[in-house]
Amino acid sequence: MNGEAKMAGVLTTRGIRIHTRRRTMRGYVLDGFLLLLSFLMLAPFLWMISTSLRLPQDSFSLPPAIFPTAFNVENYGQVFKQVPFTNFILNSLEISLIIVVGHIFISSMAAFAFARITFPGRNLIFIIFLAGLMIPGQVTIIPQFILISKLGLVDTHWALILPALINPLGIFMIRQMMMTISSTYDEAAYMDGASRMWVFLRVILPMVFPAVAVTSVMTFIGNWNDFFRPLIFLNTFEKMTLPLGMTVLNGTFGSGNLSAILAGVTLSLIVPLLFYMFGQKYLVEGITAGGLKI
């Protein structure tokens, strides 16, 4: 019996080692595949940064070089000399932050109404409201322009801010996370004499912060990179946002310095990258919670 037990123990140990070795090999293969995939995704950004440091005459060299032959930092200085780059950044930052604050305020209150307040036709109204996600922005730009023009807001930043304050996607994400919260929290607060606004601000809203964070990141990056609406509503050069003002670097008939253009693009990525890094830990949790309950 002792011999059989020892043999069984040896076989078990050997089996565990083989299984562990196979798992380790699979892990190495998976890690290698993910590293390759990450490199393919980062390659355009690496080429952009590399080209932004090249001499202008080396931008179109064949075969294309991965690393710059000479680190020409002057390309970044040309960005500020050719266009009011700082002013463009401040314009985009002002518009994007105001939209984020207003959008979160409106979306969270609307989500609270759809998730925590029972009223006739609530689900039907919510479905009709979500139908707005199927309408492309290009379809509604003409009615928006007519309305903005009658309000006298053309060539102002408010022409970009007001239409962007309401977004069905943000309301949907926050509402879905609110639906996962037990109603006992509301009932306990109401029994203690709390008002509905107090429950919203002090009980429910802090619990859905991941959804609020991911909505904020999506809204900020979407409006920071928006080119279409500023092209329609803004005419004054000093009021232009960063994506629209950057077109000046392209020059007449595309004759601009490619290295300077990509230097400007690299600089324009700093602010959204910092904003994304601030909210990245909430992205997975917020997106996952958004699809738990309908």
Look at 83 and 68; give whichever has higher pLDDT: 83
What is the CATH architecture assignment of 75-289?
Orthogonal Bundle (1.10)
pLDDT exceeds cutoff 50 at 74: yes
Mean pLDDT of 12-35: 69
Q: How far apart are CA 73 and CA 105, in angstroms?
A: 42
pLDDT of residue 159 exceeding 90: yes
Instruction: Please return the burial class of 54, using the count of CB atoms within 10 Å of its CB with bins 0-12, 13-18 and 19+.
Output: buried
The structure's pTM equals 0.80
Question: Could you check whether the bond before residue 56 is cis, i.e. omega within 30 degrees of 0?
Answer: no
Q: What is the pLDDT of residue 290?
A: 47
Confidence band of 10 (pLDDT split at 50, 70, 90): very low
Domain boundaries, the chain: 2-44, 75-289
Q: Which position has the token pair 């798992």?
A: 23
Q: What is the pLDDT of residues 167-219, one digit of tens each?
A: 888 899 889 888 888 888 888 888 888 888 888 888 888 888 888 888 888 89
**Structure confidence at residue 45 (pLDDT):** 84
Among 225, 231, 107, 244, which Cα is nearest to 169's?
Answer: 107
Amino acid at site 68: P
pLDDT of the residue at 50: 83
